[in-house]
Amino acid sequence: MKQVLLINDIAGYGKVGMAAMLPILNYMGIPAFNLPTALVSNTLNYGDFAQLDTTEYMRQTLPVWKRLGFHFDAICTGLMFSEEQARLVSDFCREQAKTGCTVFVDPVMGDGGSLYHGIGQEQVELMREMVSVAHVIFPNYTEACYLADIPFQEEGLTRSEACRLLDRLVALGAHSALITSCIIDDKNQVAGYDASTGKYFLHEYNEIPGLFHGTGDIFSAVLIGHMMKGESLSASTRQAMDVVREMIYRNRDVEDRMCGIYIERCLDLL
């Protein structure tokens, strides 16, 4: 049975990050384990939060797992909080990759053209380090711009510009890449480059008004789940997009959207 390790922060209040990904992957029959990079009181978007750095825990945990011979078929990394964390995780990912592990990187940093509250240029540099060890990355358009160090275009991109941006992401070291939440040729689309085929692809979607937090984590989990079952990057992307849309639709009347989507009552969509 294939196993996935999630390396990300854990929010005490909010159905985001690991709280969103764990139930999805487990429901899809792929046991998911976790290594927290920080404990956060709530999602950063509330504007005020407490944070406990877990670098020392990570420093002690990874050697224990190595001695015990733990192996993962996939690793998905999220937010990093220090250069040491990025180094510990990237070294671990490289070691696991030698045994066939697929490394997914969700470079969590921002949206809507700006970085999230509490995220600075240091995190951008750390994410570039993580991208260099990834098999697949899936930044949103904002994060892709920060990674590639290019201006965010409010009006969106043309197809050729999207392909060039994907090329710049791959040049950072990733094998395959997606750009989510992007306007391409005046349509809401997800753009992708699949290294296994050497081809680009686009998937269009209809946007539901309103910002829901944690949808990127849902997308990541569904994408990984389908790829771990042998589906292509393009097909897995389409599946993830459709699930995210249906979950948003079901939760469209939730008052506190910063808290995220109530995953457990939507698992039948998987």
DSSP-derived letter for residue 66 is H
Give the other-Cβ count within 10 Å of 120's Cβ.
10
In this model, does residue 75 exceed pLDDT 80?
yes
User: Residue 137: which domain range?
Assistant: 4-269
Predicted confidence at residue 268, as pLDDT, reads 94
Per-residue pLDDT of 140-153, as tens digits, reads 999 999 999 999 99
State how many domains the chain has. Answer: 1
Q: Can you read off the two tokens belonging to residue 244?
A: 């995210």
pLDDT digits (tens, 9 = 90+) for 157-202: 999 999 999 999 999 999 999 999 899 999 999 999 999 999 999 9
Cα–Cα nearest to 235, from 267, 194, 207, 206: 194
pTM of the model: 0.94
- Three-state DSSP class for 213? coil
Q: How many CB atoms lie within 10 A of CB 91?
A: 12
Residue 209 predicted with pLDDT over 80 = no
Q: If you write DSSP's letter for every residue of 79-138 in order, what string do you get?
A: ---SHHHHHHHHHHHHHHHTTTPEEEE----EETTEEPTT--HHHHHHHHHHHTT-SEE-
Beta carbons within 8 Å of 167's beta carbon, 6+ residues apart: 193
Count of CA atoms in the C-beta half-sphere (13 A) of 101 = 27
Domain CATH for 203: 3.40.1190.20
Residue 61 to residue 192: CA distance in whole angstroms: 34
Q: What is the 3-state secondary structure (H, E, C) of 216-267?
A: HHHHHHHHHHHHHCCCCHHHHHHHHHHHHHHHHHHCCCCCCHHHECCHHHHH
What does DSSP say about strands 114-115 and 136-137: parallel, antiparallel, or unpaired? unpaired
